[in-house]
Amino acid sequence: MRQATCNRKTAETDIALSINLDGTGKSEIDSGVGFLDHMLTLFSKHARFDLTVRCAGDTNVDDHHSVEDIGIALGEAIKDALGDKRGVVRYGSMLLPMDETLVLVALDLSGRAYLRYDAQIPTQKIGTFDTELVQEFFLALVRTAGITLHVKQMDGENSHHIVEAMFKALGRAMRQAVSIDAAFADEIPSTKGVL
């Protein structure tokens, strides 16, 4: 089983996170940020990753530290669970519709951290959640996991739908990318011989 845990404690957050890449999509999320709980539950379900997240953060200040540090912890756990990435498909993509919204997510488990984020979320907040934190979460994730990630909003008017489509599409694309390609199960999917 490809699984990992990450415990991260700073002056701002205390996080315990575990992931199983070969799971069924079960999740137990308590980030202290309600909207992020919803998004991580969707991500887990669509990726079919079993995911547990517990975070005690300084949300009395705002949600920034919790959201960013959970992205860091998730990235570290994914990287650890993937190991040398032997046999993985490596690439994943999803063009995901959600009502009026259409979002494209494409990624490469390249070992190189890069985020291309092209979205125009109409509102600054979804409930109490700052929508600018979506990009911060993705940045933290790709930097620690070593993922090349493109997120492009093709259409959409409802902020909740746009962000939800991003997390669902990310889950679906990750599910593809981490899948084992039976024809190349003993190979690293790179001419370099390493990812």
Q: Which domains, and CATH codes, for the chain? A: 3-184 (3.30.230.40)
Contact 15, 55 (CB under 8 A): yes
Looking from the CA of 163 toward its CB, the CA atoms found within 13 Å total 25
Question: Is pLDDT of 1 > 90?
Answer: no
Question: Is pLDDT of 193 > 90?
Answer: no
Q: 49-94 pLDDT, tens per residue?
A: 999 999 999 999 999 999 999 999 999 999 999 999 999 999 999 9
Alpha carbon distance, N-terminus to C-terminus of the chain: 20
Question: Is pLDDT of 25 > 90?
Answer: yes
| E strands, 68-127, in order | 91-98, 101-108, 114-118, 125-126
Question: Is pLDDT of 36 > 90?
Answer: yes
Report the candidate in 149, 27, 130 with the shortest Cα–Cα distance to residue 92.
Answer: 149
Mean pLDDT value of segment 136-148: 98
Please state, for a pLDDT cut of 70, what percent of the chain lies above it.
100
**pLDDT value of residue 107:** 98
**What is the separation of C-alpha 8 from the centre of its chain, rounded to a whole number of angstroms?**
17
Instruction: Give the span between the Cα atoms of 22 and 6, in whole angstroms.
Output: 17
pTM above 0.85, yes or no: yes
Contacts of 101 (CB under 8 A, 6+ apart): 153, 155, 156, 157, 158, 161, 162, 165
